[in-house]
Structure 1
Amino acid sequence: MQAPKLCLVEDDPIMGESLTHRFALEGIGVDWYRDAESALAGIGEHPYRAVISDIRLPDMSGEELFGRLLAGDAPPPPTLFITGYGTVEQAVRLLHLGARDYLTKPFDLDQLLNKLRTMAPELFTGEAEETAEPALGVSPAMRRIQETLQQLAGHRVSVLITGESGVGKEYVANYLHQCESRGREQPFVAVNCAALPENLLEAELFGYEKGAFTGALRQHRGVFEQAHGGTLFLDEIGEMPATMQAKLLRVIQDGRVKRIGSERTIRVELRLVCATNRDLKRAVRNGEFREDLFFRINVIHIEIPPLRERKEDILWFAQRFVERCSRRHGVRRYLLPVSERYLCQQPWPGNVRELDHTIERACILARQEILGPRELGAVEGRQAVEGGDLKSHLVEYERQLIVEALKRHQWRILETAGRLGISRKSLWEKMRRYGIQGPGEE
């Protein structure tokens, strides 16, 4: 049986490529047509579950396209129109004709997906749990990790998460917690074992009674007590001092914790998730980490690959970071295809954390809506990236930026030049240099 598919009608190559890429990341099958006649022929041959079409197409308007669909022998698929130049009148006419919905550029891709999920939920059948929020990534490695975490729900065994700094170990731990809690109010408590000196770490983990030491002016519940019934995440467990390792082992074995300055033990039930960027097996061999503690915390081992080894996740994260920053800072930001290629060709030694910071900085400092390689940190002299040197990528970016601006301003040269911050003469020169021609030009 053929999987359900989506029909996309969009003549803008930048918008079309961006949408098809996002649909692919979401697991949605899509056929992309650049003009209405091709789309009509395709719709006649394939049982598409939904149609997404631009209102302005090179050979006919979206209204004409929808009229042709209505005139066919079969009812048209649920149809949503998008446009950068739409009006309320157009939206009303299309809705009265029977279109399902309407969006005006620029729009949030998550908003489009939510509308599509309402229009044609069968397109999302087969997502199963692997794309359920909060998703961990679209690469095979992260999908396997997500499946493993879902299987662990209901089994409170200790989990050890390893991977380079910045790969998202706490995010993965939090996802496991959400699989476990399934909407119930259960605590998730995180502690960085490397951030506290030994005496403070003991007080933070196990708590203390009032007067237990100088400065203990009141009773304090440790994180084991705070996480009772939920999840305790101990980050950088490999940096824990040897004496603290012994005390932690006792709590794990007994399931009971004793506050500093108290003789009474308190029963705690929780899931313990530990994380480290160190090789704990080597640390055990070197006498730096207790072997018995290692076996206790390493019942289930989750290793997160570095971002450079799962390039599919780079764009998946980048798109979400751009959308999140747009909402957070009240701005509209978009990635061009050349920007996406640039991101995928970077080594990201700081992994997801570095990518997140790069996107947020670009969103805040960019002077236009489109984020190009320059906004993302590309500078002359940086090592050439795969598929061409930096100069060629920046030239392609400038061309795409000009084409996008011209389309947004309906090819009005003076308005476009003003929006780009250059003179009309400079814009004409750049258009000639890059071979950019307006609608109807040969």
Structure 2
Amino acid sequence: MSVGAAEREPRDLVEADSTADAPPAPESSRRILVVEDNEDTRQSFQQLLELSLGIDVDIARDGTQALTMLAERPYSVMITDLRMPKLDGMKLIEEIQARRLPVTTIVTTGHGSIDEAVQAMRMGAYDFLTKPPDPQHLCVLVERALRERTLQDELAALRAQIGDRHAFWNVLSKCPRMFEIFELIGHIAETTTTVLIEGETGTGKEQVARAIHQASSQHRRGPFVAVHCAALPETLMESELFGHEKGSFTGAAAQRKGRFELANNGTLFLDECGDIPMSMQVKLLRVLQERRFERVGGNQAIEIDVRVIAATNRNLEVMVKEGKFREDLYYRLNVVKIDLPPLRLRPEDIPLLATYFIQKYARSGNNPPHLSQEAMERLLSFAWPGNIRQLENAMERACVTARNGIIRPENLPPDLQPKAGPGKASLRADLTRPLAEQLAEITTAFEKRYLRKALRKARGHVGRCAKISGLSRRSVSAKIAQYKIDTAAYKPK
């Protein structure tokens, strides 16, 4: 699985930004609920938080009233005493977990019972405070909890989008370049046009090929048959592709249909077609031209109606110039070409795909763990040389090692941890591609990341962003428009 196989097959898409680029949680949900049986403490908490954080704070006198209020409207953070009449803090946390209410809980206790507070954290509380809390510490803790809650709300929205607006057949993306590919797939769905997919290892070439097949399923009822050309020895490739007659060679005890024949009225996917030997390229070219072949050892022509999709992580045009790939076969395959962008050029897809993989690999019977803000930033800053396949493996490991329902940076694989020499991870020299093209990609990716970071620091103010970057306001505005960065996403709510 590479580009992210969705369980369902919706087909609409939209576009968004990357580093914390999902839209912030709606302002209405950025509220705090204080649950406390002591009226003076309730009022002091409410006044302190409203004045210090500038956020709406509601109050409840016990757990029963709090549950009613939580059901009526969303809250980002709840601060609750542990010992209260009617429904105490422990029972309140149990009910919140049972009802899966999306609120971050901070517990307070005035009885010096650290054991109770620790037990509450094991049940799902975010942190605890002893009463009376230090006002500054309380505000810092609540601010941190609000940031974590915002990220979790964004990820919850992404989970909804996975089954809704950002899936095209079996491919997940929010990237404009991928939208162009999806549109192209829609255009060729009703045809038998041969397609060539080029992209780095792990970018999801087979998933895109399957998307083409599925988009064509109303017109072409045959199966999707995949052949991994690099895994087949030259001596077996002809038999695998075209089949053989009984007795045609030693060990041919019975007639066998080849992959072309099995894919009739469907799709034949030739993965890593750049590894097809020159001797086989001639025979493959003839089949693509004539749409007929004979089995090995046979003389009866078999006609086929097959769409061929070829994929490679190598530059076939360069291979043609080097004499390693037939020019006529290249042009026969390259009727419609799809260039899959690597994950480092699709940063807006990282949160979407990470969320999907977390859902996929969550422990059976448990809610999917949440990505902490620090872990998400680590994912967004990594270059992903192994692309989506590497991201999937990272999320599987994180789900296995996560504790208390939160994925932290230490749960990510060691190769995602920071290394000395910043920037080296993103500078992979690919000698199969022109230097100017790679420099342009690196510059674009760095400019996007720089502008987003500057906008976060400037809280969405373009003028302050220009001052930080040392560019004119006009230049910054032009780059923001070029990269389709939504400045509103960085403005305080």
Local SS of the residue matching 2:409: coil
1:206-225 equivalence runs, <5 A = 206-225=242-261
Segment drifting more, 177-186 vs 211-220: 177-186
Change in 2 beyond 3 A, CA 1:324/1:298:
same
1:29-428 equivalence runs, <5 A = 30-31=26-27, 33-35=29-31, 58-59=58-59, 61=66, 63-64=68-69, 85-86=94-95, 109=156, 113=160, 127=165, 131-182=167-218, 186-326=222-362, 332-378=368-414, 382-383=419-420
1:227 deviates by 0.8
Change in 2 beyond 3 A, CA 1:182/1:255:
same
Q: TM-score, normalised by structure 2?
A: 0.56
Change in 2 beyond 3 A, CA 1:217/1:84:
farther
1:65 deviates by 7.3
Aligned mates of 1:197, 1:381 — CA distance in 2: 41
Structure 1, residues 268-308: CA drift from partner, whole Å, max 9, x if none? Answer: 11111001111111111111111111111100000011111
Gaps of 5+ in 1: 1-19, 38-56, 70-82, 92-104, 118-123, 387-442
Match of 2:81 in 1: none
8 Å contact 2:291–2:303 — kept in the other structure?
yes
8 Å contact 1:229–1:269 — kept in the other structure?
yes
Segment drifting more, 360-369 vs 230-239: 360-369
How many residues align? The count is: 312
Quick one: which amino acid aligns to residue 34 of structure 1? R
Local SS of the residue matching 1:349: coil
1:62 deviates by 6.3
Quick one: which amino acid aligns to residue 33 of structure 1? S
1:203 deviates by 0.9
Change in 2 beyond 3 A, CA 1:244/1:30:
farther
Structure 1, residues 339-370: CA drift from partner, whole Å, max 9, x if none? Answer: 11101111111111111111112222444422
8 Å contact 2:19–2:348 — kept in the other structure?
no
Aligned mates of 2:212, 2:24 — CA distance in 1: 26
Change in 2 beyond 3 A, CA 1:22/1:199:
same
Aligned mates of 1:183, 1:202 — CA distance in 2: 29
Quick one: which amino acid aligns to residue 336 of structure 2? I
Aligned mates of 1:285, 1:367 — CA distance in 2: 53
Gaps of 5+ in 2: 1-16, 34-56, 61-65, 75-91, 101-123, 125-151, 424-493
8 Å contact 1:188–1:232 — kept in the other structure?
yes
Change in 2 beyond 3 A, CA 1:265/1:326:
same
Aligned mates of 1:279, 1:21 — CA distance in 2: 29
1:89 deviates by 10
Change in 2 beyond 3 A, CA 1:155/1:333:
same
8 Å contact 1:134–1:175 — kept in the other structure?
yes
8 Å contact 1:136–1:143 — kept in the other structure?
no
8 Å contact 2:358–2:399 — kept in the other structure?
yes
Local SS of the residue matching 1:229: coil
Local SS of the residue matching 1:157: coil
Match of 2:5 in 1: none
Local SS of the residue matching 1:194: helix
Aligned mates of 2:381, 2:99 — CA distance in 1: 42
8 Å contact 2:287–2:293 — kept in the other structure?
yes
Local SS of the residue matching 2:95: coil
Aligned mates of 2:98, 2:382 — CA distance in 1: 45
Quote the sequence identity (%).
38
Quick one: which amino acid aligns to residue 311 of structure 1? P
8 Å contact 2:397–2:413 — kept in the other structure?
no
Q: TM-score, normalised by structure 1?
A: 0.62
Match of 2:480 in 1: none
Change in 2 beyond 3 A, CA 1:247/1:112:
closer
8 Å contact 2:18–2:348 — kept in the other structure?
no
Local SS of the residue matching 1:302: strand
1:217 deviates by 1.5
Quick one: which amino acid aligns to residue 214 of structure 1? T
**Which of the pair has the greater relative contact order for Cα pairs under 8 Å at 6+ separation?**
2
Aligned mates of 1:90, 1:381 — CA distance in 2: 38
Aligned mates of 1:21, 1:84 — CA distance in 2: 33
Local SS of the residue matching 2:323: coil
8 Å contact 1:208–1:262 — kept in the other structure?
yes
Aligned mates of 2:310, 2:98 — CA distance in 1: 57
Structure 1, residues 157-208: CA drift from partner, whole Å, max 9, x if none? Answer: 0000001111110011111111111598531111111111111111111111
Quick one: which amino acid aligns to residue 400 of structure 2? I
1:33 deviates by 3.2
Structure 1, residues 219-244: CA drift from partner, whole Å, max 9, x if none? Answer: 21111011111111101111111110
Change in 2 beyond 3 A, CA 1:67/1:286:
closer
1:383 deviates by 3.4
Quick one: which amino acid aligns to residue 31 of structure 2? D
Local SS of the residue matching 1:234: strand
8 Å contact 1:36–1:65 — kept in the other structure?
no
8 Å contact 2:18–2:350 — kept in the other structure?
no
Aligned mates of 1:373, 1:202 — CA distance in 2: 49
Change in 2 beyond 3 A, CA 1:358/1:67:
closer
Structure 1, residues 19-68: CA drift from partner, whole Å, max 9, x if none? Answer: x999986x99955531179xxxxxxxxxxxxxxxxxxx754546347769
Aligned mates of 1:68, 1:276 — CA distance in 2: 51
Local SS of the residue matching 1:374: helix
